[in-house]
């Protein structure tokens, strides 16, 4: 039984799973939390009843970064062994082949922001503060932040955030494309649930294929990316959902198909 990270579902929001961080007071991401996050992401991936995922840290903070006391005790030799696991665990949200949204109230700093960067969408409260302040510790982001942040906001803005370690407010984060929606703090979680809920009855295999094509395509040149799209597009013609979708369109018009996720 996980101590700090749970995967929760609710009858009020069918098809949506919430990965909830709960390690007061600031959801510091020690190695146990990191492992529990990866386990929750794995569970969300394989559960057929979960069609979309919300990442949430509660009403005050998503996560304010790593457990500094734990980091302080590590040697170079130890971190050489742990760095890959750190990157994998904090990147586990990115590996979920379903629509994902990070719901951020308060702080998302260091590893907390790296977690949010792995989501497909980021909804934040107007009180949110986001940043990668690792340089103030003599470090750099090590959970995927140097790569995902630069791909999201561009290298110049990513370098400025990483070099200075400064916190970015909600409106600036929206302006530079770091987040996608700003709402009142007490509306963040419900806004995320609403966004995720629209996929409860969607063609989940097609959504996974779309996510794969976009994510993998961004890592390669255009010609290779088009080949990736070609293969995942063609593969959908072996699915029940494709047969259901096209037949429903012919018989009933768009938007009325009852998909089965196969």
Active site residues: 66, 111, 114, 134
Strand 129-131 and strand 52-56: the pairing is: unpaired
Q: Measured between alpha carbons, how far is 188 from 122 in angstroms, rounded to an integer?
A: 10
User: How far is the CA of 125 from the CAs of 143, 187, 200, 241, in angstroms?
Assistant: 23, 8, 24, 36
For residue 108, give every residue at least 6 positions away whose Cβ sits within 8 Å of its Cβ, in sequence order, or none.
Answer: 57, 61, 62, 63, 102, 115, 116, 124, 128, 129, 130
Which DSSP string corresponds to 166-229? --EEHHHHHHTTS-SEEE-GGGHHHHHHHHHHTTTTS-HHHHHHHHHHHHHHTTS-HHHHHHHH
Maximal CA-CA distance, the chain: 65
Burial grade of 247 (CB within 10 A; 0-12, 13-18, 19 or more): exposed
Task: Name the packing angle between helices 155-164 and 145-153 (round to 10°).
Answer: 130
Helix (H) or strand (E) holding 52: strand 52-56
Q: Measured between alpha carbons, how far is 27 from 55 in angstroms, rounded to an integer?
A: 13
């Amino acid at each position: 039984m996980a101590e700090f990270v749970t995967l929760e579902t609710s009858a009020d929001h069918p098809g949506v799973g919430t990965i909830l961080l709960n390690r007061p007071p600031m959801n510091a991401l020690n190695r146990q939390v990191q492992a529990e996050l990866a386990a929750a992401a794995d569970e969300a991936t394989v559960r057929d009843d979960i069609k979309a995922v919300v990442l949430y840290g509660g009403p005050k903070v998503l996560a304010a970064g790593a457990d500094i006391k734990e980091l302080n005790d590590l040697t170079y030799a130890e971190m050489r062994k742990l760095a890959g696991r750190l990157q994998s665990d904090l990147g586990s949200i990115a590996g979920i082949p379903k629509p994902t949204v990070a719901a951020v109230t308060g702080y998302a700093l260091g590893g907390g922001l790296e977690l949010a960067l792995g989501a497909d969408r980021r909804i934040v409260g107007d009180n949110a503060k986001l940043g990668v302040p690792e340089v103030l510790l003599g470090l750099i982001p090590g959970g995927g932040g140097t790569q995902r942040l630069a791909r999201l906001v561009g290298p110049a803005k990513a370098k400025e955030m990483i070099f200075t370690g400064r916190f970015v407010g909600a409106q600036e984060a929206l302006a530079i494309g770091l987040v996608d929606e700003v709402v009142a703090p007490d509306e963040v979680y419900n806004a995320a649930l609403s966004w995720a809920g629209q996929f409860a009855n969607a063609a989940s295999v097609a959504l996974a294929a779309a996510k794969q094509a976009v994510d993998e395509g961004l890592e390669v040149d255009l010609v290779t990316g088009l080949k990736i799209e070609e293969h995942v597009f063609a593969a959908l013609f072996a699915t029940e959902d494709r047969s259901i979708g096209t037949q429903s369109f012919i018989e009933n018009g768009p938007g009325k198909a009852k998909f089965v996720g196969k």
